[in-house]
Amino acid sequence: MRKLLGFAIILAAVLLAAPPAASAQSAVIAGSLGNFDIVNNTGHEAHGFEIELEGLQMQDVPYSFSVQRYGAAEIVPSPTGVYVRWKSGYDAGTGQFAATTIVRPAGTAFVQGSCYMWNPQTYDSAGCEHFGVSLTRNAISTTYRWLVEDPANPGTLVPVTLASPVAAPVYAIVPPARPGNAPALVAEVPAPEPAESPERYGPAQWMKTFKTQLRREVGLDELLGDNPMIPQDRGQIEVEWELVQDTPNVEGKQKRNGALRQGTLDGDTRAVVRRFEIYDYTGAYDPATNQALCADLTCTAPSAGELGDFVSAQMTAANVRVPSLTVTKVGSGDVSSSDRSISCGSKCSAFESDGALIVLTASANSGSAFRRWTGACDGPDPICRVGINEHADVAATFAQIFNLSVSKSKSGTVSADQAGVEETLNCGGTCSVKYAAGSVVTLTAVPAPGKQFVNWSGGPCDKSAVAVCTVLITRDTSIQPNFTK
């Protein structure tokens, strides 16, 4: 719990700053995922790995990554939560473990994808492995450990004394300060290694962060370093370098245990994906307090001799639901919402309250007609209702109005059928009816008693002797049915 104290203070301050009315209008975290590459820098051959998740129960860990030499993980209760544990089998007859992760040679450059079993040319010699879990809620704290053979009990695995440094972000949603503004996703990253005693600083590590937002949810098996979806290009850097170090408890000073990442969510965001890279800090320490003494005095970037070996890369994602609405228009018209959040026209996107029922009204401009809704609304009624519990897209289509003019004599009549609505055109010498562009109108010539239909003049059925003519409305159209006199 001590790891999260600094974050709790910061997050509480942000939440208290938001007005009560904003509390219902927020995003929802649908699940957090983490897959990580980690080197074996224990100095011992490893035959397994474990993650200790405090404050969780077994059902809070629905899935774990299994495509590596140790296979599927076992999830077992711990005194304070659960263990997710991958471990090798052991042959008592030969005294050998079935699977081993070798010690990574110091100073070896990290090669992307070298920790994965589908790259056999590097996998056995890389001295690293890939593990991961998906969670339904945050753990109070997370600890990572390699499992090595107990020298006193051959065939038995024990965790190494020091936790392996892996970024373990804890996610939370900060509601917007004002209704209609964007909510934010906060990721608090505790210092990967705690201090040995409350009055000293913990071991320091350099951390680099990449970030992207996606319009779809992601799965655990996608969070692999060699997947192009993972942000790791220079243009996706969120923070280039930051020194993370567990700080001592000093009365009157806020304890800072790691890093805080916060960014507003786009309305159509379904996942925020980050890559946290951890490197050893090889600079000087204060001998009394163990505080890192960076050469630049600010620890904002490694100076010469301060950047050590790559240790781990955590590919992590938070799947989110953002209650929001985006309206797009085709043609000439406007869309407004009952809560005034949408006036499209000018404002076509808005963040909404979770569970809100939004009434949209489409209004055609002069010379146009409303055709239909598509997306979260569907149909020709100009009023639609949208329930909001995540992002919703609605499109309104307006069409230009054209005249269909029919000239005829007393020798017959013409009926018009458009979308199943029949209309008999008995309006003298010329009858003009307005239709929206894209309408399909079926005209049927009906001769008067004792008369016969001859043909059509003009329009798409010019000179046709068939009494039924289908007209696709794309412009002003004039057509004349001819009957015997």
**Residue-wise pLDDT tens digits, 147-174:** 999 999 999 999 987 667 899 899 999 9
Closest CA to 396 of 413, 409, 414, 384: 384
pLDDT band at 424 (very low <50, low <70, confident <90, very high): low
Asked if 183 and 351 touch (Cβ cutoff 8 Å), the reply is yes
Q: What is the pLDDT of residue 177?
A: 80
Q: What is the largest CA-CA distance in the chain?
A: 116
Sign of the dihedral defined by the CA atoms of residues 187, 193, 196, 199, in that order: negative
Going by C-beta distance under 8 Å and a sequence separation of 6 or more, which residues neighbour residue 421? none
Asked if 23 and 175 touch (Cβ cutoff 8 Å), the reply is yes
Q: What is the pLDDT of residue 339?
A: 87
Please tell me the distance from the alpha carbon of residue 217 to that of residue 418, in angstroms, as a whole number.
Answer: 42
Please tell me the distance from the alpha carbon of residue 220 to that of residue 50, in angstroms, as a whole number.
Answer: 17
Does residue 15 surpass a pLDDT of 50?
no
Phi-psi sector, 428: left (phi>0), alpha (psi -120 to 50), beta: left
Does residue 203 surpass a pLDDT of 80?
yes
Please tell me the distance from the alpha carbon of residue 90 to that of residue 179, in angstroms, as a whole number.
Answer: 59
Does residue 11 surpass a pLDDT of 60?
no
Amino acid at 51: I
Q: What is the DSSP letter of 129?
A: E
Token pair belonging to 100: 């081993």
Residue 17: CB atoms within 10 Å? 10
Adjacency order of strands within the sheet including 412-418: 421-425, 412-418, 440-447, 468-472
Mean pLDDT of all residues in 114-142:
93
Does residue 426 surpass a pLDDT of 70?
no
Mean pLDDT of all residues in 71-97:
95
pLDDT band at 279 (very low <50, low <70, confident <90, very high): very high
pLDDT band at 215 (very low <50, low <70, confident <90, very high): very high
Average pLDDT of the chain?
A: 87
| Range with the poorest average pLDDT among 13-22, 120-129, 342-351, 457-466 | 13-22
Q: What is the pLDDT of residue 418?
A: 79
Does residue 434 surpass a pLDDT of 90?
no
Mean pLDDT of all residues in 406-424:
77
Please tell me the distance from the alpha carbon of residue 101 to that of residue 317, in angstroms, as a whole number.
Answer: 26
Does residue 373 surpass a pLDDT of 90?
yes
pLDDT in tens, 316-326: 999 999 999 99
The distance of Cα 238 from the centroid of its chain, to the nearest Å, equals: 17
